[in-house]
Amino acid sequence: MSTPSIRVVVSEDDFDLGTEAAALEAGPDTGAVVTFTGRVRDVADGLRHMQIEHYPGMTDAALTDIAQQAIARWPLSGVTVIHRYGKLRPGDRIMMVATASRHRDAAFESAAFLMDYLKSRAPFWKKEVTNQGEGWVASCDSDEAALDRWGKP
Amino acid sequence: MKLQVLYFAWLRERIGLGREDVITEAATVADLIAELRAREDRYDLAFSDMTAVRCAVDQMLMPLDTSLVGAREVAFFPPMTGG
């Protein structure tokens, strides 16, 4: 298998899921492509918008590191990680991960791994602005616990 | 030494700025936090619950007892909530 591709994008702009998924289909070795897309969902108080802050100097490197860890663990032909920041509205896409491999198990597992690590190890913070006011989204203990199944370093 | 210190999310809001240069002889991140807390109430408040504070030294996640020898940039922020 040739060198796996890594595509990391951190941007205010939206992305095209179909284009991103198709880009991972390059090559006859790729038998499986798995994608996950995260979207802004409404909340009980009525979400006006979500503001996503990140750490510009660190974000790209942190996402690339997570992608490289996935490549070290599974036989992947490609990994894509896209995360938006700035002002997003309910229904907007926030982020996606996509993995490509010869077989589905590696693609599914590595996509779940990327999501679990991204939630607790990539420097993004979400603030919700609702009709009742605004507040930073708290991290969940379950997010940190999710890393345990991957043998958290 | 001169450090660039960055704050994100509610730490940025409580302290009232996103970045500043700090002249310090602090040996570790924890020492730096102690110096900052002694400055003003807004810093003291921001760092009052250390279970809710994470840090990066030169853009790598690090524990609070990390040495600052050779460090140029230290960032403080709450647990990450991406995804």
Flag whether residue A103 sits within 8 Å of chain B, measured between CB atoms: no
Q: What was the pLDDT predicted at A153?
A: 58
Contacts of A43 in chain B (CB under 8 A): none
pLDDT number for residue B54 = 96
- Hey, where are the domains in chain B? 2-77
Residue A64 CA to residue B29 CA, distance in Å, equals 25
- Which stretches of chain A drop beneath a pLDDT of 70? 1, 152-153
The rounded average pLDDT for each run of 10 residues, N- to C-terminus, in chain B (83 residues) is 97 97 97 97 96 96 96 97 92
Q: What's domain B2-77's architecture?
A: Roll (3.10)
Angstrom distance (rounded) from CA A151 to CA B14: 35
Helices (H) and strands (E) counted in chain B, each on its own, are: 3, 5
pLDDT value, residue B73: 98
| Chain B CA closest to residue A139 | B81
Domain A5-142 fold: Aldehyde Oxidoreductase; domain 3 (3.90.1170)
Q: What residue spans of A2-150 are helical by DSSP H? A: 17-23, 56-73, 104-121, 141-145
The residue of B12, B51, B80 whose CB has the most chain A CBs within 10 angstroms, and thus the best one to mutate to test that interface, is B80
Q: How far is Cα A19 from Cα A24, in angstroms, rounded to an integer?
A: 9
Task: Parse chain A into domains and list their residue ranges.
Answer: 5-142
**B56 close to B71: Cβ distance less than 8 angstroms:** no
Distance CA A77, CA A58 (A): 25
Q: Is A120 on the interface with B (CB under 8 A)?
A: yes
Contacts of A122 in chain B (CB under 8 A): 80, 82-83
